[in-house]
Structure 1
Amino acid sequence: MKQWKKDLGYENRKYYDFLLAMILLTGVLSLFLDKSMLLIPTSLLVVIALASKWYDGYSGSSLKLFNYRTSIRLFPGENTSLRFRFRNNSKAPVLNGRLSFKSNSNIKADDSFTRESTKGYQYSLPFSLMSEGEKEVRLPIKAVKRGVTKITDIQYRFPHLIKFTSISMDFLPLYETEIVIYPIQKPVYGMEEVFQIAPGEERASFSPFEDLLTPVGTRDYVSSDPFHRIHWKASAKTGTLQTKVYERQVDISWTIVVNVTQQTRLGNEHISRNLENLLSHASYLCHFATQNNYDFELLINMRRPHDRPFFFQPEGSGNQHLKDSLELLARIQVNQSFMPMEELMHRLHHELYKKKTIIIVGDIPEHTYQYIREWSRKGLKVFQIQLEDGQAILVPFSYRGAYV
């Protein structure tokens, strides 16, 4: 695919028309006046015209911008550098040019390279590249706020070495580098008691559940032990009754549900004015679950074209799962369409297959209480985040349902 569209400027044709007219004029005058000296400027003009045409054809004609799919992941306040690697395979150098591009307001560079545009910032950097040369341009940037940034409107402008007019090169493909800025963490208090114990695969020192396929040893028999737990071979070797001991396992898993909408007094839903706080609290929950080695899944009532038509991170654990969850939170945009909370709860209700803890971040509309009552009857614990004196506190669901 062609990378660049070259524009020689609207005065390019006028320039060559002027040169042609001067060549014809000096040539005709030299013939009529029989002045061979007039052929010198004629020849010089011909050389200038040919050199200009040569530079028109070769300058930037084989300029390549390396464009690999890359994601730069940051938290607000962190710094990094945007890198653009170019190669000039042409015989003509491009000198004293300016590389410019745009981004949204989620990132920002030094003021000397930056000016505000309608949807963010425009950047301009000095850039020159010799023939058959390769060079990397770096721009230090700082992550300002949560979101995803794409680099757009990449353009390189440089002066024509003979005509002294400006040549512009517009980059045609989508630039594949993106900057993903995770939400900050805002603490949620009252986390210590939030878990639902169920049979699972995670080892635990104390658990009411045992894996009967994973014996770990024996111990002395006590009168309360079931008869079928006696290990007869071990008892014969030791001369005393021995009881089989199995590995104790639990499943501590969370379902984090984020409601990014709030209702008006008339019952209409719109994006919450506390969106960034909600996502920051959800980020904290994801970090807390990962640090404690809990499995968790994440559901957000924002629509997207997918088998599941909402933002969803399947159940998992570990650092990679945390990174994927934070990236999901980072990709939420205010201008996206949302899914009504009742529809999201309905979908979740039909997919719950085991006991787990459900944590709801955001408002809980009254018409969704029916699902919470059903979950409670099945033994699931439901918690919600409420604000008290400016602090987010995790409390059992109380049918008040508001993230104030």
Structure 2
Amino acid sequence: MKWIRYEEGLKTVYQGMGIVLVFFLLSFIYSQVMLAACFAAVFAMFSFQNIYYSKVGKNLIVLPLRNRTRFLIGTENDLILEFENGKIPIWNGTLTLSIQDAVAPMVDDMDHFSGIFDFHVPFAVGSGEKVKVSIPLQGRKRGMARITRMTIKIPYLFGDGSVLMELAEPIRQENLVYPKILPFTGKLNPSPHRPGETEQHQGLFHDVFQPVGTRDYIPADRFDQIHWKASARMQKLQTKEFQAVTALSVLFIMNAIEKPRSPGDFEKKIERLASYVDYCTRNTVTYSIVINIQTFGVTPYVYIPLGAGKIRYQKIMEILARLSEKNGKIPYESILRSVDLNVTLPPTIVLITHDPELFGNITKKWLKYNHVVIDSFYDGRKEGW
């Protein structure tokens, strides 16, 4: 474990040792035995201190941390740091951590500036001991928080000075704060143009594996739909009736470009998308996601294929927690054209965007075959919750 050491006040200590040595020699020359012994004891204490602080902390190791901690906004969890020390004990130290402000430390001694929390906790460890430091953290806002800096300050026992050790290796631990979930009170309507598994009172398609009854035969009915046992019982031809069904799977396309003069627009869209994902997971609706943020994968933008399930839900929450308004973005109309050309469109499409009038040509085309929802909730439109 590599530490960068900074020593403060060492020059003053050396000057003090020089003065004490001069007085010791003068006392010795003038045969002042008691006075010389006092100066010798002071010189010995300063010498011991220099030897101690030249070696302290060199064998201190930060044991591996838990890789990832997950938070909801307002929930608390503990950051646990474990240290293993060498032969030289550390007394009266102060551990200082700098962490990104997606989480907030629940301690009294801290500072907050430029998106970073600096906080301080007492630190001491004996010779050859292991010690755990537990720091409560609270989810503050959606995002990812890493520890950016760790230092340990050890003040001198005698004199005004200290040794500051800064960890020179990265700390591979991250704290993810999931976006806020707003319960979806509406309903995503299935497409009437495609067969599927969603029950409907009226539909163009029927599930032949779910007969719900019979009715009198009419000449337009198909021959294979006649219920022969019911016909024999009723003494007239009866036709099977099946459950009307249509397809329900959803494509969410979020516009990550912020609305002008609207602070927090990006966060509101993320919360909106997370709430839709929560609704689809609870109702077992398959869904896919497109976001116009640049990536380095097969597709140049964020694309999550069609699927469902709780494991997928957790992974998507982690992806949404990592997204930032500082990420590079692609024009929304370019994304819509790419989706139109390269993605098999599901029955229902939800556009989470501002200024939907700019993309009317593409949405009109999709409306012929799909159910399209334009969600511009912060503009007071009727599609809002």
Quick check: TM above 0.5?
yes
Structure 2: gaps spanning 5 or more residues:
227-238
Which residue of the other structure, out of 128, 140, 147, is the alignment partner of 1:132? 128
Q: Which residue of 2 aligns with 1:192?
A: 187
CA shift for structure 1 position 21: 6.8
The 1-side partners of 2:174 and 2:118 are apart by 16
- Deviation string for 1:261-303 (max 9, x for gaps)? 3566xxxxx8865322222221111111001101111222223
Q: Which residue of 2 aligns with 1:334?
A: 325
Scaled by the length of structure 1, the TM-score of the pair is 0.75
CA shift for structure 1 position 331: 2.2
Q: Which residue of 2 aligns with 1:99?
A: 95
**After TM superposition, what 4+ stretches of structure 1 lie above 6 angstroms from structure 2?**
32-39, 202-212, 222-230, 246-250
- Residue type of the alignment partner of 2:4: K
- Secondary structure of the residue aligned to 1:81 is strand
Matched, 1:12 2:47: no
The 1-side partners of 2:97 and 2:287 are apart by 39
Matched, 1:384 2:355: no
- Superposed counterparts of 1:3-402, under 5 Å: 3-7=2-6, 9-16=7-14, 18-19=16-17, 22-23=20-21, 26=24, 30=28, 40=37, 44=41, 47-48=44-45, 50-68=47-65, 70-88=67-85, 90-110=86-106, 112-161=108-157, 165-189=161-185, 191-196=186-191, 198=194, 252-261=248-257, 273-377=264-368, 379-387=369-377, 393-394=382-383
- Deviation string for 1:45-67 (max 9, x for gaps)? 67446523431343111111123
Q: Which residue of 1 aligns with 2:236?
A: none
- Secondary structure of the residue aligned to 2:249 is strand
Q: Which residue of 2 aligns with 1:239?
A: none
Is the Cα–Cα contact under 8 Å of residues 188 and 393 in structure 1 kept in the other structure?
no
- Secondary structure of the residue aligned to 1:185 is coil
Residues 59 and 12 of structure 1: is their aligned pair in 2 closer, same or farther, counting only changes over 3 Å? same
Is the Cα–Cα contact under 8 Å of residues 65 and 80 in structure 2 kept in the other structure?
no
The 1-side partners of 2:332 and 2:262 are apart by 12
The alignment of Structure 1 onto Structure 2 pairs a total of residues equal to: 373
The 2-side partners of 1:37 and 1:368 are apart by 94
Q: Identity over the aligned pairs, expressed in percent?
A: 19
- Further displaced range: 75-84 or 285-294: 75-84
CA RMSD of aligned residues (A): 4.3
- Deviation string for 1:170-203 (max 9, x for gaps)? 12222222221122123444x3252237456x69
Residues 102 and 393 of structure 1: is their aligned pair in 2 closer, same or farther, counting only changes over 3 Å? farther
Residues 132 and 161 of structure 1: is their aligned pair in 2 closer, same or farther, counting only changes over 3 Å? farther
Structure 1: gaps spanning 5 or more residues:
231-242, 265-269, 396-402
- Residue type of the alignment partner of 1:261: I
- Residue type of the alignment partner of 1:394: E
Is the Cα–Cα contact under 8 Å of residues 313 and 328 in structure 1 kept in the other structure?
no
